[in-house]
Amino acid sequence: MTYKLVSRDYNPDDLVVDVGGVEVGGRRVVVIAGPCSVESLEQTLEIAKLVKRLGAHMLRGGAFKPRTSPYSFQGLGEEGLKILVKAREETGLPIVTEVMDPRDIPLFKKYDVDVFQVGARNMQNYTLLKELGRVDKPVLLKRGFSATIDEWLGAAEYVALGGNRKIILCERGIRTFETHTRFTLSISTIPLVKKLSYLPVIADPSHATGRRDLVIPVARASIAAGADGVLVEVHLNPEKALSDGPQSLTIRDFEELVRDLKRVAEALGRYL
Ligand code: PEP
Ligand code: MN
């Protein structure tokens, strides 16, 4: 058995993870939005205020970026965390940001980051997972893009074993033979993982598709399949984004997304 503490057998009731007053895993469908990378104070504040006004529940932005090429923008680091804190102060939105290295955990604690995101590439970084097990903050655990469901739940088990049960799983697409999309979002994984585990499950249609035109329909499908929320990338000017521009929604797209998700949620007896 690769996991026990995170299994539905261990705890039959759905876990509701509280993120600064925002409940993930309850009847509310949560929307986490923001730029792929924190690029500047102005950019982040403006996006944060706009998505908040349109209905986002949390702000997400990367300060430490796991990039395929070491020559690509690596993120603003600590400066990015400071910017996120300012955006939280101005909007009241909890902040979600990726931690890549266990050595950065004290810095994340210093800025009181609300949700520690573990990226797909780090899903099996067991040193990081063990350290996050000792952190008293929710962990958003992305599925590795070549990880099986059991490997993903095994990774969650590492966090839980350290004492931290506040885990939010995120299906962000797996690698298949298909080339039209960046990855392939596994819709069936959403209800399946919710059967196997009591942890909340959200979907990331931005990284899964890599294409702005597919983000809204795949987000709708994810909620229809039982996801407890979505994580989407939003940019004021995607053509100019320092990372993941092609998959970033414009503010106008984001407005449409929220409108659609409200209707899907209501059809299922949930709300946004
Ligand atoms: C991200 O969230 O910006 C990111 C790099 O995602 P993933 O780890 O899913 O590739
Ligand atoms: Mn991204």
Question: Could you write out the DSSP letters of every residue in 145-172?
Answer: TT--HHHHHHHHHHHHHTT---EEEEE-
- Atom 1 of ligand 1 has which residue's CA nearest to it? 36
The answer to the question of residue 233 being in a domain is yes
What integer pLDDT is reported at residue 18 of this predicted model? 98
In terms of C-beta density within 10 A (0-12 exposed, 13-18 middle, 19 or more buried), how is residue 195 classed?
exposed
Q: What are phi and psi of 63, to 5 degrees?
A: -105, -35
Q: In this structure, is residue 197 part of a structural domain?
A: yes
In a domain, 19, yes or no: no
Considering the domain boundaries, does residue 112 fall inside one?
yes
Q: What is the distance in A from the centroid of ligand 1 to the CA of 54?
A: 23
Task: Tell me the ligand closest to 243's alpha carbon.
Answer: 2
222 within a domain of the structure (yes/no): yes
For 161, the domain range is: 30-267
Question: Is 247 within 8 Å of 215 (Cβ atoms)?
Answer: yes
Count of positions (residues) in the chain: 272
Q: Are 153 and 193 in contact (CB under 8 A)?
A: yes
Sole residue written with tokens 């603003």: 76
Pocket lining: 120 vs ligand 1, CB cutoff 6 Å: yes
Task: Kindly give the confidence (pLDDT) of every residue in the chain, 272 residues in length, as a single tens digit, with 9 standing for 90 and above.
Answer: 899 999 999 999 999 999 999 999 999 999 999 999 999 999 999 999 999 999 999 999 999 999 999 999 999 999 999 999 999 999 999 999 999 999 999 999 999 999 999 999 999 999 999 999 999 999 999 999 999 999 999 999 999 999 999 999 999 999 999 999 999 999 999 999 999 999 999 999 999 999 999 999 999 999 999 999 999 999 999 999 999 999 999 999 999 999 999 999 999 999 99
pTM for this predicted structure: 0.98
Residue 121 tokens, joined: 């590439």
Give yes or no for residue 235 CB within 6 A of ligand 1.
Answer: no
How many whole angstroms from 10 Cα to the centroid of ligand 2?
A: 34
Residue 11 counted as domain residue: no
In the numeric block, the tokens 């990726």 are attached to 98
> In this predicted structure, what is the pLDDT of residue 1?
84
Q: What does the pLDDT look like over 242-253, one tens digit per residue?
A: 999 999 999 999
- Determine the distance separating the centroid of ligand 1 and the alpha carbon of 199, expressed in angstroms: 20
Residue 134 belongs to some domain of the structure: yes
Write the residue with the smallest CA distance to atom 4 of ligand 1: 119
Residue 9 Cα to ligand 1 midpoint, Å, equals 30
**DSSP-assigned beta bridge partners for residue 197:** 7
Examine residue 12 and state whether it is found in any structural domain, yes or no: no
Number of C-beta neighbours around residue 39 at 10 A: 23
Q: Is 98:118 a contact under the CB 8 Å cutoff?
A: yes
Q: For the domain that residue 201 is a member of, what is the CATH number?
A: 3.20.20.70
- Looking from the CA of residue 66, the nearest atom of ligand 1 is 5
Q: Rg (Cα) of the chain, in Å, rounded?
A: 17
44: CB partners within 8 A, 6+ apart? 34, 35, 38, 59, 61, 83, 84, 86, 87
Burial of 28 (0-12, 13-18, 19+ CB in 10 A): middle
Under 8 Å CB-to-CB from 18, ≥6 apart: which residues? 24, 138, 166
What's the number of domains the chain is made of?
1
> CA 115 to CA 103: how far, in whole Å?
17
Instruction: Report whether 197 contacts 168 (CB < 8 A).
Output: no
